[in-house]
Amino acid sequence: MLKVLRINRNIRSIRRYLNVVRVLSKYGFDQALEMLGVAEVVGRSRRLFGRSKPDIARLTAAERMRLALEELGPTFVKLGQILSTRPDVIPHSFVREFEKLQDNVPGFSFEEVLVQITGELGAPVERFFAEIDPVPLAAASIAQVHRARLITGEDVAIKVRRPGIVAVVESDISALLALAGMAERHISGSELYDPVGIVREFARTIRREMDFTREGHTIEKFRDNFTKTEWMYFPRVYWEQSSRAILTMEYIAGVKVSDQDDLSRHGLDGKLIARRGAESFLEMVLNHGFFHGDVHPGNVLILPDNVICLLDYGIVGRLDDELKTFLTDILAAIVKRDMDEVVSLLLFAGDISDSLDTRALKRDLSNFIDGYYEIPLKDIEVGRMLLEFIEIISLYNIRISPDLMMLTKSLVLIEGMGRALDPAFDMVEQLRPFIVKAVRQKFSPLRVSRDINHILSSYLNLARNIPRDLKEIINRINRNKFKIDLEHRGLDKFTADFDRSINRLSISMILAAMIIGSSIIMHTDKGPKIMEFPVLAFFGYTVAGFIGLWLVYAILRSGRM
């Protein structure tokens, strides 16, 4: 039975892979697909779809890729949304275009909702819920939300996973991994961006998002982190009515943070909300190292007494002590205009290419800092400044942690909401006490002694392992079992192109031989004839003509003369 399921899954993955290639070809990415070594599938796609339509051909590459992702469905839309937070990986034009991607999918039927709830909770719906509103509050690619009431009377919101979405996502991930693997094998320089690593990181993210028990535990972790903060509220999770595909939470009735008129009608203080929101987010980042990764205005509600409630905890970011230290150090170095320190931190924390031009990097970073030198601190938008900083270093193929990228994007959203609520909102002023505290902690006696102990322990472990490792190397050399594995990259495409060239050359030589042989027979003027031509000569010229036309067509179709 397991073998049958595995075979079915593999068939679905192959079909999905072929569909992805066809859609990309439809939107004019034939050259990129040929670079991946899937020219045969591209040829079939051209015959099926023809060349790109004129209206598609007029669009930019970023616009065509956005349309392709939308046509490919929820998984690819999610991938595009995540890539929109990675200006260090994709060009800025693609970032701007992918920001337009939305989960524009129709909701699924109420009957499917009831079947999903019953199957997941293992009992009839009536055992848990007194009523469920059949009209969803919201619908997205992975789930939709319904308002309901428990049999004990509490108003709740039920998040129900879309039926069959797990199988769809898994087949999409398999197709993406196949394409990413081809990119690493066939496209020179792609290893700088680690396509397979990006897809695997995306797979972990979307699988976590589809597991609603993780989201429930995330809500409770945020609540525990803010137990002493009276103006932060987190919905209660009802675990008895929840599972991996069902999440039942307390229903929150509040005012959207983006609705200025409604905030005023309820007597809420925009300036206070802006200050509290920034403070709570910076608390998440710099103190807890665990922050909400999707803080757009639709996920922020304001309750009475200017209490803030966040919704949708499917995407979260994490910063360990090393990343938090890097963030505070890089901000401090930028403020001090110390380019040597900035470059040193980047060399330590980022993935650096061997060809990095540090002199040019320092020059561009100095120009970047000079652009902010005359601007008053209260007018500096920290999030956008960090985005600009990342755009510069991405030109030098320096890759930063995805969580730092998510943080930067979230800072932009937080600052945007803050300035909408309070035109005089100053993120730098909100950030200052956290930076001062972080710097003090970094040089505190307890932190210094802990770092020294960690360094000494690392060197001690190294010293312990050196004799054993040297002995192992010597033993392997003595047994002739010492091996050095070398991995080549980019030769597959060269080999394929070389084989194709050899085949064309061989066909050309056969073609020339047929023409020469037919010409010799023509001059002998012997044997049976057709239209006064020797049969063998006539046949030879005819076959040579067909082969020649086919060869010319193949060369023209490949676009490589």
**Helix residue ranges per DSSP H, 104-225:** 110-121, 165-186, 195-210, 212-225
Q: Contact at 8 Å (CB) between 350 and 435?
A: no
- The C-alpha atoms of residue 393 and residue 87 are separated, in whole angstroms, by 10
Residue 490 DSSP code: S
Three-state SS at 249: strand
CA distance to 90, 96, 103, 157, 499, per residue, from 293 (Å): 20, 18, 17, 21, 49
380 - beta bridge partners?
Answer: none
CA distance to 30, 42, 281, 411, 505, per residue, from 561 (Å): 17, 19, 58, 51, 14
294 counts as catalytic:
yes
Sign for the pseudo-dihedral over CA of 373, 379, 385, 386: positive
Residue 162's closest CA among 138, 143, 136?
143
- Cβ contacts of 280 within 8 Å, gap of 6 or more: 226, 229, 231, 232, 308
Residue 392's closest CA among 368, 412, 359?
368
- The C-alpha atoms of residue 198 and residue 180 are separated, in whole angstroms, by 9
- The C-alpha atoms of residue 396 and residue 399 are separated, in whole angstroms, by 9
- Please report where in the chains the tokens 């006539």 appear, as a residue: 538
N-terminal to C-terminal alpha carbon distance within the chain:
52
State the catalytic residue, choosing from 294, 329, 403, 426. 294
- The C-alpha atoms of residue 113 and residue 250 are separated, in whole angstroms, by 19
Residues involved in catalysis: 294
